[in-house]
Amino acid sequence: MEFFIDTGNLEEIKETYAWGLIDGVTTNPSLVAKSGISQKELITQISEIVDGPISAEVISTEAKGMLEEAYELAKIHENVVIKLPMTKDGMIALADLTKNNIKTNITLVFSANQALLAAKNGATYVSPFIGRLDDIGQTGMHLIAEIKDIYDNYGYQTKILAASIRHTDHVKASALVGSDVATIPYKVLNQLFNHPLTDSGIEQFLKDHQNAK
């Protein structure tokens, strides 16, 4: 399973990348806004830190504008993955980018049918937002499981990228259903290490070591 970090914070990327556990980065317009620098500058700097897929999202709502943005973003670095919204225009832009071998990530996916469309048009990644489904009283993880079944039925190569992860159980559940990737916020990545028995075990071993003859 691949882990991406979902952030526009360069310090978080540097710190977590050093762990050796991070395979890529996802950003979105809200995360870019928080970074305080332009999207171009942010993606350039991330590509200097991380050797792996870096998702950069378009802002245009029409296919023509999406494609103009996409080709500019793709010039930044070969690891750039173009993030497109799950709309008709997004699908038109996706078909073009697939034909031209540009990697893509279809975002704001909330149904299995939307994920099916993304796979049919050759998306590299599809991003179901599990936390936001939980927010409205649904079970986001069920969506990941449905997409997994559908993709397996037809052998689609599109990778499932579990997004909008809010807690460590989302990571575990994504792994259990076979999500290819989870994009995880900094706080949740840090929480993955924790177990109280690990802490008390280390404490006891250190105590015993100090008391040893």
Residues that bind ligand G3P (CB under 6 A): 6, 26, 28, 129, 131-132, 163-164, 183
| Smallest gap from residue 164 Cβ to ligand G3P (A) | 3
Residue 146: name the closest of 110, 94, 106, 183 by CA: 110
Q: Does 83 qualify as catalytic in the annotation?
A: yes
**Cβ atoms 87, 61 nearer than 8 A:** yes
Nearer to ligand G3P, 21 or 95 (CB): 21
Nearer to ligand G3P, 52 or 68 (CB): 52
User: Active-site residue among 34, 64, 75, 83?
Assistant: 83
The dihedral built from the CA positions of residue 149, 150, 156 and 160, taken in this order, carries a sign that is: negative
CA–CA distance from 116 to each of 97, 142, 153, 157, 175 (Å)?
A: 17, 15, 11, 11, 20
| Smallest gap from residue 130 Cβ to ligand G3P (A) | 9
| Smallest gap from residue 199 Cβ to ligand G3P (A) | 28
Which residues are bridge partners to 109 per DSSP? 128
Helix-strand-coil split of the chain, %, nearest 5: 55, 20, 30
Burial class (CB in 10 A: 0-12, 13-18, 19+), 124: buried
Q: Which H helix or E strand runs over 6?
A: strand 2-6
| Smallest gap from residue 4 Cβ to ligand G3P (A) | 9
In whole angstroms, how large is the CA radius of gyration of the chain? 19
Nearer to ligand G3P, 84 or 163 (CB): 163
Residues tagged active-site:
83
